[in-house]
Homo-oligomer: A and B are copies of this chain.
Amino acid sequence: MTDPETRFQHLVARLKAHDCRMTPQRVALLRLIAASEGHPSAMHLYEQIKAQFPTTSLATVYKTLDLLREIGEVLELGFSNDDNRYDGNKPYPHPHLICIRCRKIIDPPVTLIESLTQEVTRLTGYQVLSHRLDFYGLCPDCQQGAQERETTAPDIQTPTRQKE
């Protein structure tokens, strides 16, 4: 992964190339996104940026994230139950590992996806353009106090539709 400052500069350059203006709020947001290790939500970014610019609105955060997503610099992980998460460092499809208890999201080291994609393309006649692979489970920290779990059902996951 590139270092945050380099990534930040890249994001600035990409936006400028798209005739976007660099407002202070936007610059601060880009810094946050470039520096975010995990997969922050819009609300999370909003709360961070309010520390610097108290009048910033959530809508601005969403608009900037949308902008970055449109130019392919941010990956949006949509969740129908929960708020979406954003990855500004690896804006291309890659597997995620999501703790169902603490909601932490990490990038597991998984290979083989490309071969799966090719397999699907070959067998179905679809032109496969993208994919999404999420694993759900308990992170090491959450496995300890997890004995009382055994709630209802396995209750499977639920991704979001890709936009056209």
Contact = CB atoms under 8 A, between A and B. Distances in A.
Number of copies: 2
A17 interface: no
A130 B155 CA distance: 9
A150 B69 CA distance: 15
A42 to B, nearest CB: 12
Interface size class of A (residues with CB under 8 A): 35 or more
A149 B138 CA distance: 40
14 contacts: A70-B153, A71-B153, A72-B155, A77-B158, A77-B159, A78-B160, A79-B80, A84-B158, A100-B129, A106-B124, A125-B140, A131-B136, A158-B162, A159-B160
A147 B130 CA distance: 18
Contacts of A125: 139-140
Given A81-B162, A112-B112, 6 more contacts: A70-B155, A100-B164, A121-B137, A130-B156, A131-B134, A132-B159
Interface of A: 69-72, 75-82, 84, 91-93, 95, 97-101, 103, 106, 108-112, 115-117, 119-121, 123-140, 143, 149, 151-164
